[in-house]
Amino acid sequence: MHFQIKRDTLLKSLNIAHNIIERKNTLPILSNVLLEAKNNRLTIVATDLDLVFHDEIQELKIIQDGSTTTSATVLHDLLRKLTSNLDVTFNLKDENKLNISAENSKFNLLCLPVNNFPNFSDNFNGEGINLNKKTFLSLLNKTKISMSNDETRHYLNGIFVHTAESNDKLYLTAVATDSHRLSSSSMPVESTTNLKPFILPKKTVFQLCSLLEEADEKILLNSSDTKIQFKIGNSIITSKIIDGKFPDYQKVVPKNNTKILSINRKDFINSVERVITVSIDRKEGVKITIDKDKVQLFVNSSSSGEGKETLKANYNSETLTVSFNSRYLLDIASEIEDENISMNLNDAVSPVLILDKSDKQSYFVIMPMKI
């Protein structure tokens, strides 16, 4: 194997690949990335056995076909520290050593045989569903904030995705919850494909978001009984889905919250950020007292002091005091597109529905906390 490629072109692919591999894996081959130069393109594959990243690069000069595997982390760090847009030459002189040269730099990286690398054969049926990249990335960003870290309830460690019809339109809906908060976002899709509901693992969600941040192409979503696949241009992410039953989330969405608070989003975020500076633990609660034309935020920390701030607001009911995890509030507020946040409340202990008037297909639910 012998080829020449621009440093930036390869680094773009390695940015994803090195995050896919499992650094503490007992199988050394899973710390490596597969490089194959063939048919005027470079194929790059990285996996942790649950998640596979496959990329093809055509902007290179192949001198001799071939393939090898080498450390994804070492190769990524090496490329990252080279000068931008350098020509980098890869030459596999023997099976165990990959020579890499760029300008005045020369490296020899150890390799493992290609036949040790896992071989994947996936059977994805149907034509798949085409998704708009910008809309789908927004959908993931709005829901991923509520994914759980509780390993005892593994079915909450990801995003639940399903299709549903509304007003004769088909929508792809994503939902996540950690039992303290819930996020839901939907997007219209044009498809007749029967997509079974699935739970997308947390690691897959983050890697998919990273890839989509850099992509301009549409996405093709396809599924099998145990896996889900996303094709984005020349890149493919294939992931196992979480084996488990997602709870009936619609049962926790408030239907009769009649106390409506509307407050400027930027002012609210800045105010929360200021008052929680007195708290060492950012997960401590912020107490919110709501009146007809104002909101008072209050934080009291036994170890460092207290903070109070008052904001203008619109509210249609009697005075109410309710407390929230400040981090949860900021996470949700950061995903609101409208200039105002709309909170539908009931009392100090019931779930609160948060709406975005600029995105009617998304909503958030947050549980109050006791202080």
Distance, in Å, from the CA atom of 118 to the CA atom of 98, rounded to the nearest integer, reads 20
- Find the range with the poorest average confidence among 59-68, 163-172, 178-187, 266-275: 163-172
Number of compact structural domains in the chain: 3
Shared-domain flag, residues 356 and 333 = yes
Q: What is the pLDDT of residue 24?
A: 74
Residue 44 exposed, middle or buried by CB count within 10 Å (0-12, 13-18, 19+): buried
What is the average pLDDT score of the chain? 92
Q: Which of 116, 142, 164 is the last residue of a domain?
A: 116
Q: Answer yes or no: do 223 and 240 share one domain.
A: yes
Strand partners, 298: 287, 308
Residues whose CB falls within 8 Å of the CB of residue 158, separated by 6 or more in sequence, listed in order: 147, 176, 199, 200, 201, 202, 204, 205, 242
pLDDT in tens, 102-116: 988 999 999 999 999
Look at the alpha carbons of 78, 33, 209, 190 in this order and tell me if their dihedral is positive or negative: positive
Class of residue 21 by CB neighbours under 10 A (exposed 0-12, middle 13-18, buried 19+): buried
Same domain, 108 and 153: no
Please say which residue of 69, 90, 116 terminates a domain: 116
Residues 282 and 338 occupy one common structural domain: yes
Q: Which of 58, 83, 116 is the last residue of a domain?
A: 116
The whole domain housing 78 covers 2-116
Q: In this structure, are 307 and 212 located in the same domain?
A: no
pTM higher than 0.85 for the full model? yes
Q: Are residues 234 and 264 in the same domain?
A: no
**371 belongs to a structural domain:** no
CATH number at residue 99: 3.10.150.10
The average pLDDT across 209-218 equals 87
Q: Looking at mean pLDDT, say which of 106-110, 191-195, 216-220, 222-226 comes out highest.
A: 106-110
Name the 3-class secondary structure at 105.
strand
- Distance (Å, whole) CA 6 – CA 61: 10
Query: Is residue 234 located within the same domain as residue 257?
Result: no
Do residues 241 and 285 share a domain?
Answer: no
At 283, the pLDDT band (50, 70, 90 cuts) reads: low
